[in-house]
Structure 1
């Protein structure tokens, strides 16, 4: 019997109640401010003000104007992208100011609500000019009835106003009972991002552990979200098993969305190691816009990596019902680490149809990624009995020149939804992916502070095949004064894998991380490069969620649950199958959002996650045993405030996850058991938007990672290893008024120290990294042209990035990036 549990429970309930009271008090304190802002906004509609908006890019000028005028202006990035304006100088009313800024652009502004505006293409046949005095007739489709719509960009254009939440559909950030951020294609282009890992680094709750551009990353890109690992769990259009499990290139995404916290109900159990306990990442595919697009980008990355990207989009047919979007990319050459190179090729095609009742889409793609001299899949192991050595120079090669990590993958996804009535929609999806990889690399075990190490060579050919299907019905109805948004869903995911572990450690040699010796390549001629199927993972599930709206939807409550079955089948070398385990679980959710005012909301949630069970390691009495799925539990409360041009979210969370431990039997032998627990409590502050012409993006995260059940009673209450307490991000952009079209950028990322062991005796130091850049929008041969320069890790800071246990990774070296984008 655990007599400590009631005390901990009472303490937690007190803390939770206190947090709720503080949040409500904060909300009541800012309520008068909200009302005051609304009154000022209404008065300024008719008043004149003096503006000084420089000529230049229309999207930036509009963002600056909205910030100065104190209004909300939302529009699709493509509407104003690469258009120019003569600027604004002098005294104007709101209406006249918009007219002057939009002159010659073919756009007009529409006031959708008091103080809230959007852009619309001028209908010349109707004689529309300037600001519309009345709203045009529009067809309104509830977001719950159409999950294919893309949320508009927020002020500044770096993030969207909302994101897709799987079973809950599209949600505005103010209506979402979770902490989410949706990064736009505009941000990805301006930051010259290559994979999703580059994009999510903007979030203070996320850190990259293993980066596929520099590491073998046998399990793909690995992220820490809220202090828990997320691996092989990137969604594509809300579906698992489609995006490559090696890396996720940004060229095929219009949005990259980060949901912080457990999410088993929303998207089902993630198939990757570690699941999505701390959060999930979703890539929203590109779709053709109404405006024809032909865009060419050329790029350079130090030391000599060159690339080209073409993006073509067209719509045709009656009412532009059919759309085609093609993206092709190829880059190859040496990167910033001497002797290391990366080759990447991508071809993706998105075809969609949007009718009055039927909407369908088809996404297909092919991807290759080949690394030379990657830094190993597990990074650097540091012996337990030595102090942590200083990180080596990240610009110097540590791997042998014969090491490589190659992969290729294909994917296909078909989705459709049909409106049975104005309130009810049937939907379905089916697809899959194939990835084949081959790694000849080393794990490096450092044995002393002088950097001497033992390199263990492994050859690991492997493949994975995913097949997935889902279907459901969603709709809205009312019961008296209560509205309902109901979704019933059935989902199936199957993952087949083939690999061999017999070639791990077939060779080894002595090395040094500061002074690399040259070693001859070991032979792999007799090794099998096409392994048979070794296991199958099957994940069928049934889910239901209902969002109830009360008090004219100022209060929404979401109730739901997912029944998830998990079956693992192992295959022998002769093809015989054995069921390792067949288990099931129910993961519920209870979430609420209350909107005391038009511009702010308070939310809370209780949601559970589900991740695949551990396998008992070699050296234990039950080695090879696979444990049932592990449940994680999250409690969260937060407040969000939208100032019209700037939004901030403050949230507090707790996630508890069971852990596996080697439990001593008293005779020198141990048995692996799921008896440990790690509990991460934290506070997050997120900001995005634009203030006085400065675009801001980032925030801060504080986490208390605690071992509530450790391998030894002496470690209970210690800080959990591999989690930093403080993470701080702040990115900014500023348009130079004296150089029209020129923008300067800067980003700072800071991470505090981390323990590497349960005893809290060994640490790696914290680090701070600075990225800077500039871009210039101009015209070339009467074509819009954007030139970009970026320098990542400006000061060349060498630092360790924590992985798992005492395995570490090196941070990215100083990297210079150049690109030029032109529209035809």
Structure 2
């Protein structure tokens, strides 16, 4: 029996025994999900407890989901806690939304929204961008995760487009982490968890208010994880410290969030590219195999700070300031330059060439704005005006080091013998690399006319980029409009339509093309969306239909061996998404939905896959999570995540491969009790319950499934 199976059996036996020994049913307090008090604003938790009814909408401030012309989902701390797979917690949480599909392994936070690729570096913290990176996205300090499935830059200001994997694409979603803040009731919670093959996690969450009238608040969160995850031989070493300070006054309010986060993964490579000699999709190997060489690692360290201030100016007008700073350090020694290997034939053999590299960068952000109301007859104008600027400054190696391992090769159907691999080489010298300066001016008017809301917005966006010290500066600008319409014939029904856009930086053509040195303009991501929202006393239904146009840079052949690189490519995505959250019975809660995406590559790279589906984008996705609560103490939670058939492409983009669909089940149980009059919440969760082996497609290759992962936690409210 594998260790994960043994841990599951033991935890199932111990959980009820703990409750029987230390508590009586009549002594156990009832835990209810009260409204969340966030810096003076109240977000009401929807029935079922998985989502709340409002979230941040950029410079418009907090908005009720029934009043905004977008598809927005606001995940509560309950969702964050219950669905956070400890090996890839952020992406695991986001899979509760049918519009989100996994696109990462344990070393990354990559995912798809409406079929379009994005990752964690585009996440905002309290409305401030550029604080997190693309590799791992911590959530231990988040009280709410707010997902808007549209680019929506016009409402959120500029953000650096660094480290996007392919800098020619904007993010298809706006994601904001609302940090934990001190509430009216003091919090002292200690949580201990064990997961995988012995990884131990400890968390401390302390919050209190102080000062005259409890004007000041402090919330401290500490995270520590160390041990082996569910992949044999892969160790996770992680810590994080964050502090949130806020002040509420009659004339204004302020919030300061500061923190540091460190993660080191010794191994975890599950990413495979397909070489030009592979003729058919390889059979799925055992996902308990370890493909890491001796000395493989990937570590990151982030220092981050976000400051928000809002000042009353008189009447209905307020000034606001948002500012942020981050210092990122990412170092790695990995295979194939990413996190895995290139399969070179149908037998599953791969070369073991190692890349050692690093990225160090700093970001700065500042936004100053004005928000207020104007009345003109029957019209109420909710106006916001803002100016912001993002700075990005990166340092890295002059060139990456690349070399074969001592072993020279491996096979996906055999575990890698790490003892006969290699030792990591030293990193090359650090030099000045990219610099990016982006600024924007934004004006938005949310016009209220009885049951109608009309949102009109415009953003002028300037980007300046240089690829290294002494190289010329690339400049480009664009206008990103935002248009939205929302009609509420009744308080519980809303019909909406919107147009949003995202913008990225310009680029320069490389030396391998005949037009080398040419500056290509920044590309745009455009989305049109129509939708319906229906709310009852127990449920919220949402339906949206969307059309996304993603511009791309492509190569075209002009003669044998001669190619031109131009900004004329395009991928189109059309589809619909339907979701639900709420209570479906007296003891039953549910959250989930389905999505259909019909994607087409238009004017493709070298014209090879004209009309084909976008790489890694399935037509169907679906998720359903059910919670059964037989009484006030017990909670049984299950989730099913379905990913439809997709495709991927080989390394030289000459052949496509179909990747079969997969369905993964998660199952957990929670129990609330007391121990020496201390309230205790016990949670047992098993991810990939049936331990299914499967491939899932990325944009350029295959990723191997995560083995069954069992986590058992105990939270003590002291």
Equivalent residue for 1:695, pick from 568, 579, 589: 589
- Conserved? CA contact 2:159–2:390, under 8 Å: no
**Is 1:447 aligned with 2:344?**
yes
Equivalent residue for 1:496, pick from 393, 400, 422: 393
| 1:531 matched residue in structure 2 | 430
Equivalent residue for 2:140, pick from 224, 248, 251: 251
| 2:307 matched residue in structure 1 | 414
Equivalent residue for 1:817, pick from 687, 691, 711: 711
**Is 1:333 aligned with 2:227?**
yes
| 1:32 matched residue in structure 2 | none
| C-alpha deviation, 1:280, in angstroms | 2.3
Q: Secondary structure at the match of 2:93?
A: helix
Pick closer, same or farther for the CA change 1:191–1:222 going to 2, 3 Å: closer
Pick closer, same or farther for the CA change 1:493–1:714 going to 2, 3 Å: closer
Higher alpha-carbon deviation: 493-502 or 173-182: 493-502
| 1:682 matched residue in structure 2 | 575
| 1:111 matched residue in structure 2 | none
**Is 1:770 aligned with 2:659?**
no
- Conserved? CA contact 1:613–1:627, under 8 Å: yes
Pick closer, same or farther for the CA change 1:440–1:173 going to 2, 3 Å: same
The aligned runs of 1:61-210 (5 Å cut-off) are 75-76=34-35, 149-194=41-86, 195-210=89-104
Give per-residue Cα distances to partners, 1:754-780, cap 9 Å, x unaligned. Answer: 122488852111111000000001111
- Conserved? CA contact 1:233–1:276, under 8 Å: no
Pick closer, same or farther for the CA change 1:224–1:435 going to 2, 3 Å: same
Distance 2:432 2:388 in 1: 24
The aligned runs of 1:370-519 (5 Å cut-off) are 370-375=264-269, 379-383=272-276, 385-443=278-336, 444-500=341-397, 502-507=399-404, 509-518=408-417
| 2:14 matched residue in structure 1 | none
Distance 1:170 1:305 in 2: 38
The aligned runs of 1:41-60 (5 Å cut-off) are 58-59=30-31
Pick closer, same or farther for the CA change 1:808–1:414 going to 2, 3 Å: same
| 2:626 matched residue in structure 1 | 732
**Structure (1 or 2) with the greater helix fraction:** 1
Distance 1:407 1:255 in 2: 24
| 1:261 matched residue in structure 2 | 150
Distance 2:518 2:432 in 1: 19
Distance 1:384 1:192 in 2: 39
Distance 1:270 1:531 in 2: 25
| C-alpha deviation, 1:615, in angstroms | 5.5
Equivalent residue for 2:461, pick from 556, 561, 564: 564
Give per-residue Cα distances to partners, 1:280-317, cap 9 Å, x unaligned. Answer: 22111110011111000000111110011000001011
Give per-residue Cα distances to partners, 1:168-190, cap 9 Å, x unaligned. Answer: 22111111100010111122223
Pick closer, same or farther for the CA change 1:278–1:430 going to 2, 3 Å: closer
| C-alpha deviation, 1:516, in angstroms | 3.5
Equivalent residue for 2:176, pick from 263, 271, 282: 282
- Conserved? CA contact 1:294–1:310, under 8 Å: yes
The aligned runs of 1:352-367 (5 Å cut-off) are 352-367=246-261
- Conserved? CA contact 2:28–2:674, under 8 Å: no
- Conserved? CA contact 1:721–1:760, under 8 Å: no
| 1:236 matched residue in structure 2 | 125
The aligned runs of 1:607-618 (5 Å cut-off) are 607-613=500-506, 616=509
Q: Secondary structure at the match of 1:420?
A: strand
Distance 1:199 1:626 in 2: 39
Distance 1:743 1:785 in 2: 14
Pick closer, same or farther for the CA change 1:270–1:414 going to 2, 3 Å: closer
Return the TM-score normalized by structure 2.
0.90
The aligned runs of 1:595-744 (5 Å cut-off) are 595-613=488-506, 616=509, 619-622=512-515, 627-692=520-585, 693-711=587-605, 715-737=609-631, 740-744=632-636
Using CA pairs below 8 Å that are at least 6 residues apart, which structure has the higher relative contact order? 2
| 1:800 matched residue in structure 2 | 695
- Conserved? CA contact 1:256–1:284, under 8 Å: yes
Q: Secondary structure at the match of 1:189?
A: helix
| 2:245 matched residue in structure 1 | 351
Distance 2:685 2:638 in 1: 9
Q: Secondary structure at the match of 1:157?
A: coil
Distance 2:453 2:528 in 1: 18
Pick closer, same or farther for the CA change 1:364–1:385 going to 2, 3 Å: same
Q: Secondary structure at the match of 1:58?
A: coil
- Conserved? CA contact 1:389–1:448, under 8 Å: no
Distance 1:411 1:317 in 2: 26
| C-alpha deviation, 1:369, in angstroms | 0.2
| C-alpha deviation, 1:517, in angstroms | 4.2
- Paired residues, number: 675
| C-alpha deviation, 1:164, in angstroms | 0.5
Distance 1:679 1:404 in 2: 37
Distance 1:727 1:594 in 2: 29
Q: Secondary structure at the match of 2:559?
A: coil
Q: Secondary structure at the match of 1:303?
A: coil
Distance 1:761 1:287 in 2: 48
Distance 2:330 2:590 in 1: 39
| C-alpha deviation, 1:712, in angstroms | 5.7
| C-alpha deviation, 1:449, in angstroms | 2.6
Distance 1:461 1:712 in 2: 32
| Structure number with larger C-alpha Rg | 1
| 2:11 matched residue in structure 1 | none
- Conserved? CA contact 2:253–2:309, under 8 Å: yes
Higher alpha-carbon deviation: 242-251 or 454-463: 242-251
Pick closer, same or farther for the CA change 1:349–1:650 going to 2, 3 Å: same
Q: Secondary structure at the match of 2:151?
A: coil
Pick closer, same or farther for the CA change 1:571–1:761 going to 2, 3 Å: closer
**Structure (1 or 2) with the greater strand fraction:** 2
Distance 2:234 2:456 in 1: 50
| C-alpha deviation, 1:200, in angstroms | 0.8
| C-alpha deviation, 1:811, in angstroms | 2.2
Distance 2:177 2:674 in 1: 31
Structure 1 gap ranges (5+): 1-52, 61-73, 79-145
Give per-residue Cα distances to partners, 1:368-419, cap 9 Å, x unaligned. Answer: 100001207x643444642110222222211113200011110112221111
Give per-residue Cα distances to partners, 1:709-744, cap 9 Å, x unaligned. Answer: 22466743332222110000001101014xx50110
The alignment yields a C-alpha RMSD, in angstroms, of: 2.3
- Conserved? CA contact 2:276–2:654, under 8 Å: no
Give per-residue Cα distances to partners, 1:411-451, cap 9 Å, x unaligned. Answer: 11222111111300011022210011210111211012321
- Conserved? CA contact 1:229–1:276, under 8 Å: no
**Is 1:781 aligned with 2:676?**
yes
Q: Secondary structure at the match of 2:537?
A: coil
- Conserved? CA contact 2:476–2:505, under 8 Å: no
Q: Secondary structure at the match of 1:533?
A: strand
Distance 2:328 2:597 in 1: 36
Distance 2:481 2:159 in 1: 16
- Conserved? CA contact 2:365–2:391, under 8 Å: yes
